[in-house]
């Protein structure tokens, strides 16, 4: 890496980022990645060590793996951490304290899997999968459509988790509204076939998400920021689109921003690809331009292969981040979330900012089995 390249990385990525009461030391976030390393849903010392190792390596903001809210149908594994219950919350308090002592900021990602829940699995084995319309992402019957009571219970559970996060000393929360999980199931016409106030046109399909955002906003202080993760694609449906034009995206984003989203985390598989025709802006760039809110970009940062190939046993090599720096220098987005590159090398931020990219370890798919 040349001195000029090193200086560009430092000048672009080392700037603090501030929103409400949160100020990060740089523009590098750790992307949320499910680990299944929390027996009975309780994060232990190994979880604290895992996140602290990345904070020590220079990450400005840790976004935790998805954590289940307090609803029977929220999860599909008893090894994914909960964000409710005294035992789990005590574990998370220790995680937050450890990350803070290492100089990082941390927010939990709050999650409900909706109809993607596998029937008969823990943490509540007899809980039926629920979603907008009782259909899976591919349109097949699955689970049942949520009643108004179901909706109210889930909204309340998200708000309770957000309040708990602030009480425990976290620096904000992220609502998981992406990748075909519950909130996203309401946003997407392919899975939301409701005929009540929560289904129909784009604005109606945002109502459930907006009510969750508003409830969380009301449950926390003015200094506590709310992040919202969103995506066009769902699970293996990589061509799915919430919005096919900037105008449709505007219609989708406006109710969420008005409800209280402070930062949008715009998930794509490859951050360098344009989202719409006739513009080089990626998804995060368009979301920022339209909403006026800060955005986080993500998608194969620093790697030469997309994430789903990792689950097929394919490794990824280290690649330069020239395009990322170009886009950040144009203020296309405000932060970058790094995933597998941080699994491979917890010191990726320090090495990148310090001009030592030649020392960055490449990603080996076998690392996903340990995630240490």
- Return the active site residues: 181
Q: Of 366, 355, 357, 267, give the one whose Cα is nearest residue 316.
A: 366
Tokens describing residue 353: 């900012």
SS3 24: strand
Q: Of 84, 86, 81, 74, give the one whose Cα is nearest residue 50.
A: 81
Q: Of 234, 218, 200, give the one whose Cα is nearest residue 156.
A: 218
**Residues 282, 177, 144: CA angle, nearest 5 degrees:** 135
Q: Which helix (H) or strand (E) holds 150?
A: helix 148-168
Residue given tokens 């996060």 in the structure block: 165
Tokens describing residue 184: 């996203």
CB contact at 8 A, 65 and 109: yes
């Amino acid at each position: 890496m040349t001195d000029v390249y090193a200086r560009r990385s430092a000048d672009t990525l080392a700037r603090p980022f501030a929103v409400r009461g949160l100020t990060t030391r740089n523009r590098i976030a750790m992307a949320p990645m499910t680990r299944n390393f929390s027996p009975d849903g309780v994060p232990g010392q190994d979880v604290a060590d895992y996140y602290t190792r990345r904070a020590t390596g220079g990450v400005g903001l840790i976004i935790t793996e998805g954590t289940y809210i307090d609803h029977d149908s929220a999860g599909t594994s008893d090894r994914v951490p909960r964000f409710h219950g005294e035992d789990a919350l005590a574990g998370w308090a220790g995680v937050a304290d450890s990350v803070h002592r290492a100089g990082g900021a941390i927010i939990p990602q709050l999650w409900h899997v909706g109809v993607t829940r596998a029937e008969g699995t823990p943490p509540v084995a007899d809980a039926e999968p629920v979603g907008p319309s009782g259909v899976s992402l591919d349109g097949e019957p699955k689970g049942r459509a949520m009643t108004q009571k179901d909706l109210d219970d889930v909204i309340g559970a998200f708000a309770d988790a957000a309040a708990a996060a602030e009480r425990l000393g976290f620096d904000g929360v992220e609502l998981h509204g992406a990748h075909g999980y519950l909130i996203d199931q309401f946003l997407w016409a392919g899975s939301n076939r409701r005929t009540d106030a929560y289904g129909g046109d784009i604005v109606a399909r945002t109502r459930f998400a907006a009510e969750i955002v508003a409830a969380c906003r009301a449950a926390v202080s003015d200094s506590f920021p709310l992040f919202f993760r969103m995506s066009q694609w769902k699970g293996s449906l990589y061509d799915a689109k919430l919005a096919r034009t900037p105008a449709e995206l505007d219609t989708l984003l406006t109710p969420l921003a008005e409800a209280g989203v402070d930062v949008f985390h715009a998930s794509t598989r490859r951050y360098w690809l344009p989202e719409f025709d006739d513009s080089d802006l990626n998804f995060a760039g368009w979301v920022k331009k339209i909403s006026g809110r800060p955005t986080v970009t993500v998608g194969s940062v620093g790697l030469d292969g997309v994430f789903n190939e990792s689950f097929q046993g394919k490794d990824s090599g280290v690649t330069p981040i020239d395009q990322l720096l170009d886009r950040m220098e144009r203020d296309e987005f405000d932060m970058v979330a790094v995933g597998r590159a941080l699994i491979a090398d917890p010191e990726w931020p320090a090495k990148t900012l310090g001009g030592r990219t030649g020392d960055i370890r490449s990603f080996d798919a076998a690392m996903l089995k340990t995630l240490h």
